[in-house]
Amino acid sequence: MSQLSFEFPDNSVKQFDDGITAEDIAKSISISLGKKAVAGKVDGKLVNNQEPLHKGGKIEIITGDSQDGLSVLRETAAQILKMAIANDFKNIQFGESEADEDGFFVDTDKPETQISVDQLSDLSKSMEKIIKQDLPIKVVELSQADALKLVDGDAYQAELIKENTIDGKVKFYEIGDFKSIAEGAVLASTGKVKIFKLLSVAGAYWQGKSSNPMLQRIYATAFNKQKELDADLAKRKEAHERDHRVIGNELDLFFVDPKVGAGLPYWMPNGATIRRTIERYIVDKEVAHGYQHVYTPVLANLDLYKQSGHWAHYREDMFPPMDMGDGEMLELRPMNCPSHIQIYNHHIRSYRELPLRIAELGMMHRYEKSGALSGLQRVREMTLNDGHTFVALDQIQEEFQRILKLMVEVYNDFDIKDYKFRLSYRDPENTEKYFDDDEMWNKAQKMLKGAMDELGLDYVEAEGEAAFYGPKLDVQTKTALGNEETLSTIQLDFMLPERFDLHYVGEDGKQHRPVMIHRGLVSTMERFVAYLTEIYKGAFPTWLAPHQVKIIPVSQDKHGDYANKINDQLRQLKIRSSVDTRAEKMGYLIRDAQTHKIPYTLVVGDEEVNGNSVSVRRYGEKNTESESLDGFVNEIQKDIASYSRNE
RNA sequence: GCCGUUUUAGCUCAGAAGGUAGAGCAUUUCCAUGGUAAGGAAAAGGUCCCGGGUUCAAAUCCCGGAAACGGCUCCA
């Protein structure tokens, strides 16, 4: 019998007989590991615990409590769900199914009526039955022809079979008389899945292409322990409470009125205060870093966007042009770059001016698809913290790194930590979506990657995520609900300078072509406020909080004057303070200040009037502290000056 | 845009077998004048998302539309 050689995570290498299973390998290491093992991972691919191995390689033993172990559990639960669906519904077809870090899903298609949310509880019961029977799950191999016969009439399965055929054969899971295409690894029997929950039903395009038919997707999750499921459900609930739309409503930050228009938010005074604070901060910051802030019109002649290429490549995201009746067509701008190009082009530029940094809080309009709109995260009118630097070829690297450094500085001020870099390239399969110049694309993409590598930063690479005019470095964050979104972005652009025939006069007295770097640091005001609301859970750091101080007199009659005096003094210092004059009990007013997440609540009564002091209660704390008025003013000013930093 | 669900007072939600609706909180007024998370009472507040149809009668049934929500696709 031939021998297989396996390398373990600790780099030790052991020999086993051909046909050994992951389970037996685990047992050979220790009895306890043998018990805990649920699957193996050979060269990064999950394999069933009982599957005979015929190839050596790097091996890992997967235990039930690991992330991979959870995937195996969920993959098993997905198979049980599929079997339950197949039992309960006739003529149902299956699309893809997948297990990931959040749970698992199964796609189905049923010609007449789709599976609805109401049927989830019945499906759960059917799954319970299958689990109770503790049916063994076997892996069987069928020839492609047999496999296709098995799924006769299910075009999706037929497609998947073709994708999964290796050497003319396809692996299937077999549970009783139910068979389903095998990918990844599953547990040995249905009884090993105990804790699961069917969560929701949603639509999903077959193979993720919007030109394909839409299938019904059932989302669900599974865990080893009830406690873990409970914790997960609690986390989902907490995420909902953190959702900027929920907090935005509670704290009266913004609203959207369908009568006026979807995706066109109204900023209430509280939200407007937060936004104004951010705007002032970022404009000051950029000016200090050599940016020249400008204002440019949100409307422009359509010809501008024909020249820029937006009309050709970006039209479906643009509002239809306004026909002015005299041959003039006006367009609401979807991006600010052409506007800033006009600023650049207004003078003859010298190499001495480069890098020329033009910035604006630029309002733009994009006709987002109705289904994509979401609170302040996805809107149709937005104001971008936009900036374009015009550089000479040999300045790209340095300017790129400068921008990145500035970005990190800004992130620190807002205490933003949870993000990752993504290099976004064009889709090589679908180049007609982009400006057509292979050489430019390759050059720009290589330059971006080179700059990131030189800084030694971690990033992921993603094809098909570029802007139509160039590749990007995107900073990806997650919303409360776990959806990924782009916050900041730096984009390299050789195209627009070409299209608008931009020049600068070089040291040699000749004309040269500049390169543009598009960059957004704090995203759009809409998305950024949404993001901050979620990471702070509505408890904005003092510098951003719409109401920074609430003063509560113990008795309106006796202490109202003192409260007003403090209030005036704080307002003189530009601190957002107010006195609660409502004729309510103190406890009520304090509760109100706390539920509105106001950073500082000051209670003033006889003691404070006599001692020229204040009783300070900070948001979220039960303790109060008596401080001199001067001491408090000093403290809050320091607090505001420190932004959101958490050092 | 697509699939599914939803839309009732400022907010969170009940309810309505077809006979024009209710709670809590918020608001206003009155009483209570208080020391760190809800004092009491009363009042006011509704095109039951919009349009059309069926009906003696529609908030409820039917058709169409809009918006929101969960996803998919797309994206700052």
User: What's the pLDDT tens digit per position in A415-436?
Assistant: 999 999 999 999 888 888 888 8
> Could you tell me if A307 and A370 lie in one domain?
yes
Domain's final residue, options A483, A511, A535 = A535
> How confident is the model over A483-539, as pLDDT tens digits?
899 999 999 999 999 999 999 999 999 999 999 999 999 999 999 999 999 999 999
Computed on alpha carbons and rounded to an integer, the radius of gyration of chain A in Å comes to 30
Residues 6+ apart with CB under 8 A from A179: A140, A150, A172, A173
Is the predicted pLDDT of residue A628 greater than 80, yes or no?
Answer: yes
Average pLDDT, stretch A589-602? 96
Give the closest residue to B66 (Cα–C1′): A258
- Helices H, strands E: what count in chain A? 20, 32
**pLDDT > 70: percent of chain A:** 99
Q: Nearest nucleotide (C1') to the CA of residue A384?
A: B76
DSSP three-state, residue A643:
coil
CB A189 within 8 A of CB A142: no
Verify cis geometry, omega within 30 degrees of 0, for the bond prior to A355.
Answer: yes
CA of A233 to C1' of B45 (A): 37
Confidence of residue A349 (pLDDT cuts 50, 70, 90): very high
Burial A430-463 (b: 16+ CB within 10 A, else e): eeeebbeeeebbeebbebbbebbeeeeeebeeee
> How confident is the model over A225-241, as pLDDT tens digits?
999 999 999 999 899 99
- Give residue A284's pLDDT: 98
Distance CA A11, CA A361 (A): 54
> Could you tell me if A445 and A511 lie in one domain?
yes
> How confident is the model over A80-115, as pLDDT tens digits?
999 999 999 888 999 999 998 889 999 999 876 678
> Could you tell me if A443 and A404 lie in one domain?
yes
- Give residue A647's pLDDT: 64
State the ipTM, two decimals.
0.94
Is the predicted pLDDT of residue A220 greater than 70, yes or no?
Answer: yes
Average pLDDT, stretch A194-218? 93
> Could you tell me if A282 and A321 lie in one domain?
yes
- Give residue A162's pLDDT: 92
Which residue has tokens 């990931």? A100
**Is residue A357 a part of any domain in this protein?**
yes
**Amino acid sitting at position A575:** I
Give the closest residue to B4 (Cα–C1′): A202
> Could you tell me if A446 and A520 lie in one domain?
yes
For residue A312, report the phi and psi dihedrals to the nearest 5 degrees. Answer: -80, -40
- Going A392 to A399 to A341 to A476, the CA torsion angle's sign is positive
- Give residue A375's pLDDT: 95
CB A107 within 8 A of CB A114: no
Parallel, antiparallel, or unpaired: how do β-strands A329-332 and A292-293 relate? unpaired
CA of A256 to C1' of B58 (A): 30
**Is residue A542 a part of any domain in this protein?**
no
CA of A237 to C1' of B22 (A): 28
- Give residue A1's pLDDT: 63
**Is residue A570 a part of any domain in this protein?**
yes
Average pLDDT, stretch A166-181? 93
CA of A159 to C1' of B43 (A): 68
**Is residue A324 a part of any domain in this protein?**
yes
**Is residue A95 a part of any domain in this protein?**
yes
**Amino acid sitting at position A423:** L
Q: Nearest nucleotide (C1') to the CA of residue A527?
A: B76
CA of A198 to C1' of B47 (A): 39
**pLDDT > 90: percent of chain A:** 82
Q: Nearest nucleotide (C1') to the CA of residue A210?
A: B73
- Going A291 to A292 to A295 to A297, the CA torsion angle's sign is negative
Confidence of residue A641 (pLDDT cuts 50, 70, 90): very high
Distance CA A309, CA A468 (A): 9
DSSP labels, A129-175? HHHHHT-BEEEEEEEHHHHHHHTTT-HHHHHHHHHH-BTTEEEEEEE
Give the closest residue to B69 (Cα–C1′): A374
CB-facing half-sphere around the CA of A449: CA atoms within 13 A = 11
Confidence of residue A119 (pLDDT cuts 50, 70, 90): confident
**Amino acid sitting at position A155:** A
DSSP three-state, residue A575:
coil
> Could you tell me if A264 and A317 lie in one domain?
yes
CB A586 within 8 A of CB A554: yes
For residue A563, give the CATH number of its domain. 3.40.50.800
Taking 3-state DSSP, the helix, strand and coil percentages for chain A, each rounded to the nearest 5, stand at 40, 30, 30
What nucleotides of chain B have any atom within 7 angstroms of a protein Cβ? 1-5, 11-12, 26-28, 31-39, 66-76
Mean pLDDT of chain A: 93
Domain's final residue, options A47, A63, A79 = A63
DSSP labels, A415-445? T----EEEEEE--TT-GGGS-S-HHHHHHHH
For residue A166, give the CATH number of its domain. 3.30.980.10
Q: Nearest nucleotide (C1') to the CA of residue A588?
A: B38
Q: Nearest nucleotide (C1') to the CA of residue A239?
A: B70
Give the residue ranges of the annotated binding site of A for Zn(2+). Answer: 337, 388, 518
CA of A593 to C1' of B33 (A): 20
**Is residue A191 a part of any domain in this protein?**
yes
CB A139 within 8 A of CB A182: yes
> Could you tell me if A338 and A482 lie in one domain?
yes
Distance CA A612, CA A632 (A): 11
Domains: count for chain A: 4
Give the closest residue to B67 (Cα–C1′): A258
Average pLDDT, stretch A439-462? 90
Domain region containing A81: 68-240
CA of A366 to C1' of B75 (A): 10
**Is residue A540 a part of any domain in this protein?**
no
> Could you tell me if A74 and A41 lie in one domain?
no
> Could you tell me if A470 and A601 lie in one domain?
no
CB A251 within 8 A of CB A596: yes
> Could you tell me if A219 and A295 lie in one domain?
no
CA of A536 to C1' of B14 (A): 33
DSSP labels, A346-372? TS--BGGGPSEEEEEEEEEE----GGG
Give the residue ranges of the annotated binding site of A. Answer: 337, 388, 518
| Alpha helices (runs of H) in A506-624, residue ranges in sequence order | 525-535, 556-572, 586-595, 606-611
> Could you tell me if A346 and A294 lie in one domain?
yes
Average pLDDT, stretch A463-473? 90
CA of A8 to C1' of B17 (A): 69
How many residues does the structure list for chain A? 647
Give the closest residue to B71 (Cα–C1′): A202
Chain centroid, CA A164 distance in Å = 31
> Could you tell me if A144 and A207 lie in one domain?
yes
Q: Nearest nucleotide (C1') to the CA of residue A376?
A: B76
**Is residue A541 a part of any domain in this protein?**
no
Which residue has tokens 């195996």? A72
Distance CA A259, CA A248 (A): 19
Domain's final residue, options A33, A63, A93 = A63
Parallel, antiparallel, or unpaired: how do β-strands A57-63 and A3-7 relate? parallel
CB A202 within 8 A of CB A444: no
> How confident is the model over A43-80, as pLDDT tens digits?
988 999 988 898 889 999 999 989 999 999 999 999 99
Confidence of residue A407 (pLDDT cuts 50, 70, 90): very high
Q: Nearest nucleotide (C1') to the CA of residue A483?
A: B71
Residues 6+ apart with CB under 8 A from A79: A137, A173, A175, A180, A186
Confidence of residue A480 (pLDDT cuts 50, 70, 90): confident
For residue A6, report the phi and psi dihedrals to the nearest 5 degrees. Answer: -120, 135
